[in-house]
Structure 1
């Protein structure tokens, strides 16, 4: 039985979700730039609902929608939304992203996703976890085509990916008319390899802001940048 994950302003139950809450989602939800102009947000592949909940805590957006294909995860996300202080602004659709972007006419000011992307890892015996982890559930091409259809003209798309997929994702995005605006590369500690890329895309070609983020200097010794970024969420920050 997986324990609920308690944040400062909300709790996430995750016992029915294949993918548990990890650093990636919290990093992305804390990092994405949010302006007062953002009135609608969509979290693609919400899982536990954590990113949508983070967006509700951080923004005044009236519409915060989420999308989840797995039935158990969908039900759990709905329950997590209803138990939060922002239940009136949060809504979850039970559908695949491909179905959703082909049927929905609405445009969103911000799309956010912590997508399945383990492209080169062996599949396990647990098909639900594989669906949550493997890129074949939602290939990059589908992701960016859908995003370009659903994004408002000035809208942004924020995503976290393995660093090794960064160039590939930027190239696929370019073919759908989306260009990187901000890139933060994440290292576990100062001597480890870059593991993740946090990317923000929009429809305009601009000079890309690039920086790095190191999570720890030593085991459980967090850097001031990481604490500053995540302290509104983590209980012990």
Structure 2
């Protein structure tokens, strides 16, 4: 089974977590400047591919601990127009030791700390933070982010509230936040967060995904993702 975007396709036969709104939101919203980027826990390779499409000068490394997912990400990279700028490494972030730091780090991390765990081990790894805790992720970003780089992440609201002070312990300052609401009048479900080592005034944004009608997307969501979705 493949998911087709305007400029690339995602094979997701071997991967536990499929293409979803969270990943597309983060890939479209994140800062994509600089010359090097790292996608932590790449899964299918979606975020790395979105960054590659957005910045033609960006060299992107992607790491994935799960072997099947890493192999599928490699297939997706090789079949894309940007295969010469994309590399996947099957390893954990804790063991990853590149030669240089990165201008951009992006991550759609495991979450659902206290929820019932999914039965399949690969899906459990993909969506529970046993294998990548907040302190471990923040420590990795502190180690791997360049002095003027930026780190972007998407999290459920309650997880995000816990994550921000943890990031602060690692000298990562919140510069930008986007509050994501499924539809008008509903409770926000996700926060998109951007951190850096530089303190600056917090830029606050918000986006609502759908209108009052189910599967009718808001103007803001269409504008953000129009370069990627075939149907937009």
Instruction: Give the TM-score normalised by the residue count of structure 1.
Output: 0.96
1:222 aligns with 2:217: yes
Deviation at 1:192, TM superposition (A): 1.3
Q: Give 3-state SS (helix, strand or coil) of 1:207's partner.
A: coil
Contact 2:31 2:104 in 1 (8 A): no
Give the match for residue 70 of structure 1: 66
Say what the alpha-carbon RMSD is for the aligned residues.
0.9
Give structure 2 stretches of 5+ with no counterpart. none
Q: Is the 8 A contact 1:41 1:61 kept in 2?
A: no
Q: Structure 1: state its 5+ residue gaps.
A: none
- Which deviates further from its counterpart, 176-185 or 118-127? 118-127
Choose from 38, 44, 50 the match for 2:46.
50
Describe the superposition over 1:108-142 as per-residue Cα deviations: whole angstroms up to 9, x where unpaired.
00000000111121113211110111011100100
Give the match's secondary structure for 2:222: helix
- Indicate which of 145, 150, 165 corresponds to 1:156: 150
Contact kept, 8 Å, 2:31 with 2:150, in 1: the verdict is: no
**How many residue pairs end up in the alignment?**
231
Shift of 1:61: 3.2
Query: After TM superposition, what 4+ stretches of structure 1 lie above 2 angstroms from structure 2?
Result: none
- Selected match of 1:165 from 150, 159, 162: 159
Residue 92 in structure 1 maps to residue 88 in structure 2: yes
Whether 1:193 and 2:178 are equivalent positions in the alignment is no
Following the alignment from structure 1 to structure 2, what is the Cα–Cα distance between the partners of residues 191 and 171?
28
SS in 1 for 2:189: strand
Where do 1:110-189 residues align within 5 Å?
A: 110-189=104-183
Equivalence for 2:15: 17
Distance in 2 between residues matched to 1:14 and 1:205, nearest whole Å? 39
**Which shifted more, 84-93 or 124-133?**
124-133
Superposed CA deviations along residues 162-186 of structure 1, whole A, max 9, x for unmatched, are 0112221110000000001100010
